[in-house]
Amino acid sequence: MAISLEEVNRIAKLARLSFNEAETKKLQHELSDILNYIDQLKQISAKGGSLPAGQAGASGGDPDAMNLMREDVAEVRESPEVFLKQSPAREGNFVKVKSVLE
């Protein structure tokens, strides 16, 4: 699914971002790749299968690529006091920040 330069400019305007012409064209290509990959995932989901060999990503890739998982092991960390001492303001055992809600 290709995305037009007008659509990229509209998205940029909504996000309050500005890009020069080269950046806009690069973003157009990247967004089109993302949308194409999403279409592939939808097709796989509908069929209940997997990506064809050699198409591990939107623009191809390693057919033997897979997600690697690691054991979820608890690690010894610094005490919270070390981090609280670095904060500009604190209240008890919490970092004090400005209110974001009125």
Spatial neighbors of 93 by CB under 8 A, at least 6 apart, are 80, 84
Q: How far does Cα 21 stand from its chain's mean position?
A: 24
Q: Tell me the domain boundaries of the chain.
A: 1-61
Average pLDDT of the chain to the nearest whole number: 83
What value does the mean pLDDT take over residues 41-59? 62
pLDDT at 1: 78
Round to whole Å and give the CA distance between 21 and 70: 42
pLDDT at 98: 87
Percentage above 90 pLDDT, the chain: 36
Q: What is the pTM of this model?
A: 0.46
